[in-house]
Amino acid sequence: MVALRSISYPPHKDGAHLGTSDNEPHSFKEHLVDPESVTPNVSDLFVDAVVGGPFYAKLYELDGGNPRYFGVGFRYGISDISTVNIFFHPSPEFAGMKHAEYVGLEGSWSNLYRYIQYFAVQLAAGSTNMVLVMPMVDSGSWPDTGVLKSSWRHIINAILVEVQKVAWPDSPGSAMDRNQTGLQNIIFSAFSAGRIAMGMARGGFNGVGDVLREVWDFDGAGAPVPGPPTGGRALLYDQASAQGDSTHFHVPRSRWARFPFYTKSMDVHGDIPQRLAYHATTRSAFGH
């Protein structure tokens, strides 16, 4: 039995995120890359799409084990919870997140929660039926996946029970147009050095190969380029200046020349997950 509870989390003091949506969903529009402009042709410039919608940003605490915290995001109006996207964040130590501040997610740990908002607004923009789960692994244990190696399925299923309470408060499962059958598909996604943790999870999560359908890699580093899972595919985004193909997209700074906020010295590394996951939702075989 997994002991999991929902906890409230405040907005970031500098505005990096809005905190948890405890009563009503968050809702806003974001500057995202128009999926139609993300072609394999590396000379095609990106087009700005100001889109979004309502979404839930939640935080759950696990009693015992590490990771202790799980950020969760999904769109308002989700009608199918059978696909879960597990996102592997970059190294907290590299980002200056102190081990002593992990409990309660104090200090710079708060900034890490922004990825839930980044992805959830893009799930809303794509009307995507997908639950985003980010295990928040402390700096002393990253990139090891800890308790997830043996208990990932139990933890994810417990999270999905909590998602149903929020998404379908009117007796979950009573509507015929809802897919209540539970977990069927796993997508692994990672940003930057999160690729290292994702690689460990692919080899360490007991039995995950049976349900792993896709891998999304956003400008990954620190480990070999991930290949597709058995029978599935990998969607790859990097800053190479070569021609891409239908699953490997090169998104160097030159392609952002007409995008808002663009400067010639712009570092687009962080923009790749923040503004291109919308494209991944449209190319994915799941969540539609």
Question: What pLDDT is stored for residue 176 in this prediction?
Answer: 40
Separation between Cα atoms, residue 63 and residue 69, nearest integer Å? 9
Separation between Cα atoms, residue 188 and residue 261, nearest integer Å? 29
**Which domain CATH number covers 28?**
3.40.50
AA identity, residue 71: G
Whether pTM > 0.85 for this model: the answer is yes
- Using pLDDT thresholds of 50, 70 and 90, give the confidence band for residue 181: low
* Percentage of residues of the chain with pLDDT beyond 90: 83
Domain that holds residue 240: 4-283
- Using pLDDT thresholds of 50, 70 and 90, give the confidence band for residue 171: low
- C-alpha atoms less than 13 angstroms from C-alpha of 23 in its C-beta half-sphere: 0
Question: What pLDDT is stored for residue 133 in this prediction?
Answer: 98
Specify if 288 maps to a domain.
Answer: no
Specify if 104 maps to a domain.
Answer: yes
- Using pLDDT thresholds of 50, 70 and 90, give the confidence band for residue 3: confident
Q: What is the mean pLDDT of the chain?
A: 93
pLDDT digits (tens, 9 = 90+) for 225-259: 999 999 999 999 999 999 989 999 999 999 999 99
Separation between Cα atoms, residue 149 and residue 158, nearest integer Å? 16
Closest to 284 measured CA to CA, from 235, 249, 242, 237: 235
* Percentage of residues of the chain with pLDDT beyond 70: 96
Give me the number of domains the chain comprises. 1
CB atoms within 10 A of CB 185: 18
CA-based angle 40:199:71, to the nearest 5? Answer: 90
- Using pLDDT thresholds of 50, 70 and 90, give the confidence band for residue 140: confident
Mean pLDDT for the stretch of residues 3-18: 94
* Beta bridge partner(s), residue 146: none
Question: What pLDDT is stored for residue 96 in this prediction?
Answer: 83
Specify if 219 maps to a domain.
Answer: yes
Mean pLDDT for the stretch of residues 221-227: 96
Task: Pick from 31-35, 169-173, 200-204 the range whose average pLDDT is largest.
Answer: 31-35
Specify if 206 maps to a domain.
Answer: yes
Specify if 163 maps to a domain.
Answer: yes
Extended strands (E) in the chain: 4-6, 26-33, 48-62, 69-75, 83-88, 131-136, 185-191, 212-218, 233-238, 248-250
Closest to 141 measured CA to CA, from 66, 63, 223: 66
Closest to 219 measured CA to CA, from 264, 256, 262: 256
